[in-house]
Chains A and B, each alone.
Chain A
Amino acid sequence: MAFPHRLDAPELPDFSLLKRLARDQLIYLLEQLPGKKDLFIEADLMSPLDRIANVSILKQHEVDKLYKVENKPALSANEQLCFLVRPRVKTMRYIANLVNADKLAGRIRKYKVILTPQKFYACEMVLEEEGVCGDVSCDEWAFSLLPLDVDLLSMELPEFFRDYFLEGDQRWINTVAQALHLLSTLYGPFPNCYGIGRCAKMSYDLWKKLEEEEDSETKGRRPEIGHIFLLDRDMDFVTALCSQVVYEGLVDDTFRIKCGSVDFGPEVTSSDKSLKVLLNAEDKVFNEIRNEHFSNVFGFLSQKARNLQAQYDRRRGMDIKQMKNFVSQELKGLKQEHRLLSLHIGACESIMKKKTKQDFQELIKTEHALLEGFSIRESTNYIEEHIDRQVSPIESLRLMCLLSITENGEPKDPSQECQIEKYAQELKNRLFAGISLLSPFDLSSSYGPEHLLTFSNLRRAGLLTEQAPGDTLTAVESKVSKLVTDKAAGKITDAFSSLAKRSNFRAISKKLNLIPRVDGEYDLKVPRDMAYVFSGAYVPLSCRIIEQVLERRSWQGLDEVVRLLNCSEFAFIDMAKEDKASSESLRLILVVFLGGCTFSEISALRFLGREKGYRFIFLTTAITNSARLMEAMSEVKA
């Protein structure tokens, strides 16, 4: 129960340094606007900022009042305004409007805009166009790495996913390269680099370019981290689309972990208040259950509660001196533990309640069937029903994507091919062939035209997969692609058709043995492989790729997998010739997820690390899960 780290596990580098660095850079920038000033902070920067600074630090540097950047006039009466924002055109317009309104009113103030993690020319262009270029000074705050935990660094850039994978905008590649450069300056060079994916390759190239140009000072440094592995999210959408069942992932799916903390509502705290709780290795109770399959968590917590009770009970029969000791030394810890325990028990109860209502068991069963590729008919019926019941558009979309990606590339009986024009035939097929048949009426009548646009996005991002010509279509795909491509399909001018890839999930799954063969019951208490994060049904593809490459120290023997991933040009490796790395550092691996990673993947790799004596460090553009992926593609704004 609760995997302890191996005694020989290498120690993690101290990432709190990054926090301090970011904080000091911010302070330095604030001091560039001497005197009292009001600070306007963009909403999604508030939590990251909270993790590295606090109000009194800002006050020390003469920040007077704090405001959220909102689309309404500023109430501030201060002579100096400072804006701490993401580089977004919308925000620049807001600032420009504010400055212009001041100008109209004859009011003179000083303005400073601090863009983080970097400036964009498009933003500066907006300021120039709005005529406020000289009035506003723009600085860059390279705060791109936030340590959310001892082994987890987040760039806190959820928009990375949509910007790159949907829009094809490479604006964050430089940010990634700079972040990697910073890491190598602080923690030494990475002797072994691996990567797969177009974005991974580009980020790697730009990073190396930076190091060349800067006449890198990392030369001669001893590496602290022996390996770095870069991986694009679109190498493995399947894992990210699955429902999570390890505790941390489940908490994320259920309550949304935001910047390393979660808001537990009254239903969890069993009081009338909500509570914001940091979830990391510091929370001793959480740390023991975070990577556990949910089915183990209850038992663990009740055992823990019994132990706690026993410890409290010890005070009976104590003499005064012992009691004094107990109160001064143990009581606080026990109280703390007690509070944490009751929180996580509350969270578990709340999760159970919600999942029971959702018919979670049925859902998981369907997902597993899709992953394993059996009883497709039942699965599609389930999904269809899911759509009909209008449970949740996002959930339905997720299941459709999962179906589409897992089924794509399977040769099908041509008689199963169906066309919209032959709806009657479809019905027959539905009965006899058992392939997916979502009536077009289901799609549009349930979810309306905006979702047609969302479909178009999903297709472009490769979450709903494109059929190669000549392939027979599953009904969902034919329908969906009909809906979204119309006559544009087949046009060479379509920029995205070249990027739309076939998923070869089934073939990859076979090659990499992603579906473990199980004789009897998979013992979730004593997991034997990474599949435990999906109840023993499936080894996360992303993690398996990493495992295989690390084992071989190359892509050799994985050519077929790489080809099936459509990544022949973008799988790379770069090993330092002279190896100055200590054996300890060689057991530390930094995994960079471009486009986000899920807690399930983190848990799976933590498990792998324990098995093999490695330790993984995670760097992600943001924490993600299936709902976030779908929302990022959605044109339906809530």
Chain B
Amino acid sequence: MPHSLFRKAGPMNRTKGDEEEYWNSSKFKAFTFDDEDDELSQLKESKRAVNSLRDFVDDDDDDDLERVSWTGEPVGSISWSIKETAGTSGSTPEGREQLKGRNSFYTQLPKPTSTYSLSSFFKGRTRLGSFQSLSDALSDTPAKSYAPELGRPKGEYRDYSNDWSPSDTVRRLRRGKVCSLERFRSLQDKLQLLEEAVSMHDGNVITAVLIFLKRTLSKEILFRELEVRQVALRHLIHFLKEIGDQKLLLDLFRFLDRTEELAVNDRHLESAGQTEVFRKHPRKAPILNMPLVTTLFYACFYHYTESEGTFSSPINLKKTFKIPDKQYVLTALAARAKLRAWNDVDALFTTKNWLGYTKKRAPIGFHRVVEILHKNSAPVQILQDYVNLVEDVDTKLNLATKLKCHDVVIDTCRDLKDRQQLLAYRSKVDKGSVEEEKIDAILSSSQIRWKN
């Protein structure tokens, strides 16, 4: 909106005289944003005004200790006012006045605020101070503009057709101008542009070039080139973290073989709810101030499949903290069972010997395994596999009976040739069930030599 200063917009809080002066002042020529004169529009007036500012005596920004509201914020302060909007949304000015009245700290009326607006600011040419003369003397040289540069869409797009060299392009980017990078098509051009940006040290520009490279290069090439350009690499990592592109970040860390950052990233995945495990089982509490076992449990729950090198991986925790085998297995079992990850549970107890035969082994004893699985309501099919692994027969029978692992009970009785116990068990199973049939079949078998 180049001409907005000339647009009279709504009633403003100015005195009539002020307003006249404001709109009629010839000095506002300096503010003409001539679209054709993009680079050269200089705000000489503002510079002059700034340099003469010292001549104003205006101390309205003295915060006074006594003007503090009941919430402790200085009355009339912006923080205070925002609290007002938040608390009594749409409260009337009268209401606010009452508030002030009640406030015991409010012993003084606020000083009349300065009538000093932008217009009066740019009129500051009445007295010729030492600065004045200086800036006058310099007024022919290109002056720095003190007014903030505004977004000017028209001017921005004009640059697109131009061929800028890498250094010109980077200079324009540094000045916050939108600048087309499309002409940098060859890898060499792209890298030259990146190097130019890095050599200027301006992180914002480095990131701007990286955004372009990310869009126009395959990630393999991008990663490969950045690996040897550490400054740019760190900018890309930070940028990806900021925009939350976890996928590319993970790819990048994998490429760089950075296991620890993978683990950090995991936390962000969690907070973003991007991983299923975190979505289904949100963490109830931060694992702060918890004993090691809790930490291990957490790791087994959320980081079980991570490679050993990652420090959040349970195996790594086990190694680092020399967690005894028993404790590790107990914790991992509980965590995986809670997630109903039966394959993991299975793997936890499977050991291979040197000939490649697999064997089931549990340092805590399988009766404890069964107990834990049952507590985590494992299905009977799973339970009975582990009940079967319990070595002591009496314990096995008791457990199987208690947990209604019918097959295990029946088979065990058969193996023990204990006809009486089997008969007794027949009364416990449902009439006409598969189990009853099985028992009947065994009882009538002629091949078993019953011991009773």
Contact = CB atoms under 8 A, between A and B. Distances in A.
A449 B299 contact: yes
Interface in A121-153: 121-122, 124-126, 137-142
Interface stretch (A59-67, A239-247, A570-578): A59-67
Interface stretch (A11-19, A100-108, A536-544, A579-587): A11-19
A81 to B, nearest CB: 14
B309 A486 contact: yes
A444 B151 contact: no
B147 A444 contact: no
A636 B289 CA distance: 12
Given A25-B148, A217-B144, A444-B321, A170 B312 contact: no
A140 B149 contact: yes
Nearest to B202: A174
Interface residues of B, number: 108
B234 A68 contact: no
Interface string B300-326: 000000000111100011001110000
A486 B243 contact: no
A221 B207 contact: no
B287 A21 contact: no
A275 B76 CA distance: 15
A487 B259 contact: yes
A491 B257 CA distance: 9
Interface stretch (A30-38, A225-233, A461-469): A30-38
A551 interface: no
B204 A52 contact: no
A303 B68 CA distance: 28
Given A57-B113, A170-B231, A488 B309 contact: yes
A445 interface: yes
A168 B201 contact: no
Interface stretch (B4-12, B372-380, B423-431): B4-12
B118 A28 contact: yes
A141 B151 CA distance: 12
B288 A448 contact: yes
B320 A483 contact: yes
Contacts of B10: 34-36, 62
Nearest to B323: A441
A553 to B, nearest CB: 26
Interface in A268-315: 273-278, 282
Contacts of A65: 85
Given A278-B63, A488-B257, A448 B295 contact: yes
A75 B110 CA distance: 29
Given A66-B81, A66-B85, A636 B286 contact: yes
A2 interface: no
Interface stretch (A202-210, A316-324, A518-526, A599-607): A202-210
Interface in A15-59: 16-17, 19-21, 24-25, 27-29, 31-32, 34-36, 41, 46-47, 49-59
Contacts of B289: 390, 446-448
Contact of A47 (B79, B113, B264): B79
A273 B320 contact: no
A134 to B, nearest CB: 8
B72 A41 contact: no
A339 to B, nearest CB: 7
Contacts of B299: 449
A65 to B, nearest CB: 5
Interface stretch (B135-143, B188-196, B393-401): B135-143
Nearest to A171: B203
B141 A215 contact: yes
Interface string B247-278: 00000000011111001100100000000000
Contacts of B257: 488, 491, 493
Contacts of B434: none
Contacts of B292: 441, 444-445
A482 B317 CA distance: 11
A598 interface: no
A89 B85 contact: no
Interface residues of A, number: 117
A16 B143 CA distance: 22
Contact of B13 (A59, A118, A167, A276): A59
B148 A141 contact: yes
B288 A447 contact: yes
Given A54-B78, A448-B290, A126 B243 contact: yes
Given A217-B141, A452-B311, A122 B242 contact: yes
B260 A485 contact: yes
Contacts of A486: 259-260, 309-311, 316
A169 B234 contact: yes
Contacts of B61: 16, 19, 51-52, 54
B405 interface: no
B30 interface: no
B148 A142 contact: yes
Interface in A73-103: 75, 88-89
B9 A174 contact: no
Contacts of B205: 121, 174
B331 to A, nearest CB: 14
B146 interface: yes
A131 to B, nearest CB: 16
B298 A121 contact: no
A512 to B, nearest CB: 29
A75 B88 CA distance: 12
B68 A275 contact: yes
A393 B290 CA distance: 13
B258 A452 contact: no
Contact of A24 (B77, B80, B121, B288): B121
B318 to A, nearest CB: 12
A88 B174 CA distance: 18
Given A67-B82, A447-B288, A29 B148 contact: yes
Contacts of B74: 50, 276
Interface string B59-86: 0011101001011111011111110011
A209 B242 contact: no
Given A168-B231, A482-B320, A484-B260, A66 B312 contact: no
Given A140-B149, A450-B288, A488-B260, A495 B12 contact: no
Nearest to B117: A60
A111 B1 CA distance: 13
Interface string B138-164: 100111101111110000000000000
B238 interface: yes
A122 B148 CA distance: 20
Contacts of A339: 65
Contact of B258 (A139, A448, A488): A488
Q: Which 7 interchain pairs have the tightest Cβ spacing?
A: A34-B9, A170-B203, A168-B234, A171-B203, A121-B208, A202-B201, A274-B72
21 contacts: A25-B148, A28-B147, A28-B148, A55-B80, A57-B114, A58-B78, A61-B12, A62-B9, A65-B85, A88-B242, A121-B205, A167-B241, A173-B203, A205-B201, A450-B288, A485-B260, A486-B259, A488-B259, A491-B257, A493-B227, A636-B286
Interface of A: 14, 16-17, 19-21, 24-25, 27-29, 31-32, 34-36, 41, 46-47, 49-62, 65-68, 75, 88-89, 118-122, 124-126, 137-142, 163, 167-174, 185-186, 202-203, 205-206, 209, 213-215, 217, 220-221, 263, 273-278, 282, 336, 339-340, 390, 393, 420, 423, 440-441, 444-450, 452-453, 456, 482-488, 491, 493-495, 498, 635-636
Interface of B: 1, 4-5, 7, 9-10, 12-13, 50, 53-54, 56, 58, 61-63, 65, 68, 70-74, 76-82, 85-86, 89, 105, 110, 113-114, 117-118, 121, 134, 138, 141-144, 146-151, 171, 173-174, 176, 178, 200-208, 211, 227, 230-231, 233-235, 237-239, 241-244, 256-260, 263-264, 267, 286-292, 294-295, 298-299, 309-312, 316-317, 320-322
